[in-house]
Amino acid sequence: MNGKITFVGAGPGAPDLITIRGAEALKHADLVVYAGSLVNEKLLDYARNAELVNSAKLSLDEVLALLCNGYRAGKSVVRLHTGDPAMYGAVSEQYRELDRQCIPYDVVPGVSSAFAAAAALKTEYTMPGLSMSVIMTRDAGRTPVPEKEALSSLAAHDCTMCIFLSAGNMRALIDKLRAAGRPEDTPVAVVYRASWENEKIVRGTLADIAGRVEEAGIKRQAMIVVGKVLNREQGGLSCLYDRNFAHGYRGAGSESFRGQCAVFAMTREGIAKALEIASGLAEADVFVPEKYATLVPVHRRVIYPDGRSKQAIAQAWKSYRGFVMVMAAGIVVRHIAPLCGSKTSDPAVVVCDERGDYAVSLLSGHLGGANRLASEVARITGGKAVVTTASDVRGMTAFDELASRFHYRVSNPGAILKVSSHLLENGRVEVRMPRVLYECFYADDARIVFAGESRDISVSIPETETVLRMEAPHCFVGIGCRKGTRSASLKAAVAEVLERSGILMDCVDGFASADLKKKEKGLLEFARETGKELRFFSEKELNAQKVEHPSEYAMKHLGIHSVSEAASLLAAGEGASLVTGKTVCGPVTVAVARQTKKTTP
């Protein structure tokens, strides 16, 4: 019986930086051929039952003979290389010979010394405004480099450089960087044995780094990093975490879907796509048949018996605001048909194919938010959202969609169809609503006439009795803050959370906090500036209120298990629910609770 050969990246040095897969390969190895002093021998402790061979003095033929003979003898053989085998690992010639002999092998990647150096330097190699590319290279030595890859050519790009295997002649290397046009004040760092116990870091510029490296006695096993990114005080901000920037895993502002989602899949391929989608949604569980349970992480997994998907969907129907079904649309239609009630109560349902090419808004596109959920799923998968509601096809924000986005309650759902049909036939309507909503969504539409500002929304068809009425939410914002927090910081934090939550400031009835914040000047000033009520609650009242996210820190230091969430719920009154749980914004924590209010038909 033949054995198994696995090439394993040992990582940069520290034994706990090897991958879990790499460590497991060592634990089950019968023979380990490791790359001498470049590999931390503490890693060999994983291989307690293996024969250990140091390859430092072996030729390529001798190494290959060990690997091939071990494989043919039925052994589990690990070839342990430093860092990641793909970077100057001298593995290609080993791969070639094994391929020639038709001997299979696996490769386990490792952490490169380039990235261990970045961690040691606490820097990012790519920074907006400084460098968005990284060149990984080496200087010519006993091993030549192609003419077009000479340092003097590559350095002219002015991006970040990680230079391997080149610390032996720093002065010659610096001269080549100068020849490429790099200025004397270009930051340079040299990291010796990154992540090892004797790690050493030398920083400088082109003008002085060579002397500093010589003084430190560094001649080999060092990563040389060159570039402006080493000055962390420079550089712009990435768009990745900009709250106004939408990307594959985050929608922008109030257009994103809010609420717990159930993601269903029935096949192995579908489950892989379901996990991708779930990881990009704010809150999502993945429902899988029992036979595929191990494919899903425990914290997301909901298991149902094989062949019982219809029953699983029915049981989950009233517990989730959104459903993403990674399966055929026909199956979904047949399963949910008996469950559908009305557009005011049905959850959002989106159907997605296993490749993620299309996300189809199937049910409750506006009030349920399926159109927005479809757009989020499409962003995550890189696919296309398919929305068929007439208003959206024509580029108009439907009024029931507006209600869903901004937490308005539709008082008379029967009027939705009348108003929508009238508009789709190019009829004219008059609206009363917050001016900010009108200007954002309807000011450019000549059919929709602004009749006055109002906290609630009404849409009337002139010369008829048809009036669509939507009640504004009544919310309280709970605030916790560090001592001495300024009004401007509070204002910015509250504005950010309200925008994320889709709550207008006009819909906030007041703010709430703990009694111990009664003398906070910034908080009092903020309340005065907004003209809103500010309520305070005692320690006893706050601790009696059940919350979703109790704080160990607040309990330890203040004797209160929650400030922002508990205060918002208490202020909003009996039966209130959280719109947004505790959100930390620097020195401020914010939560938003909504009052329970019955609609008037």
User: Which pLDDT value is given to residue 155?
Assistant: 93
Separation between Cα atoms, residue 279 and residue 250, nearest integer Å: 11
pLDDT of res. 240: 42
Q: Which residue has the higher pLDDT, 561 or 392?
A: 561
Give 445-459 pLDDT, tens digit per residue.
889 999 999 999 999
Q: How does pLDDT run across 213-254, given as a tens digit for each residue?
A: 999 999 889 999 999 999 876 655 444 444 444 444 344 444
Q: Are strands 134-138 and 200-205 parallel, antiparallel or unpaired?
A: unpaired
d(CA 176, CA 20): 40
- Is the pLDDT at 598 greater than 70? The verdict is no
Summary count for the chain: helices (H), strands (E): 20, 27
Task: For residue 6, count CB atoms less than 10 angstroms from its CB and return exposed for 0-12, middle for 13-18, buried for 19 or more.
Answer: buried
Asked whether the predicted pLDDT for residue 438 surpasses 50, the reply is yes
Half-sphere exposure of 525 toward its Cβ, with a 13 Å CA cutoff? Answer: 11
Distance CA 368, CA 363 (A): 8
Q: Where are the beta strands (DSSP E) in 272-357?
A: 284-289, 301-304, 322-326, 348-352
Helices 60-72 and 92-100, packing angle to 10 deg? 50
* Helix 370-381 and helix 268-280, axial crossing angle in degrees, nearest 10: 110
d(CA 310, CA 303): 13
Q: Is 463 exposed, middle or buried (0-12, 13-18, 19+ CB in 10 A)?
A: exposed
Q: Can you tell me the distance from the alpha carbon of 535 to that of 338, in angstroms, rounded to the nearest whole number?
A: 46
Averaged pLDDT, 582-595: 92
pLDDT tens by residue, 459-496: 999 999 999 999 999 999 999 999 999 999 999 999 99
pTM of the model as a whole: 0.63
pLDDT the model gives residue 453: 93
CA distance 334 to 504: 39
Q: Over the stretch 258-272, which tens digit does the pLDDT of each residue have? A: 889 999 999 999 999
Decide if pLDDT at 211 tops 50. yes
- Residue 289 scores a pLDDT above 50: yes
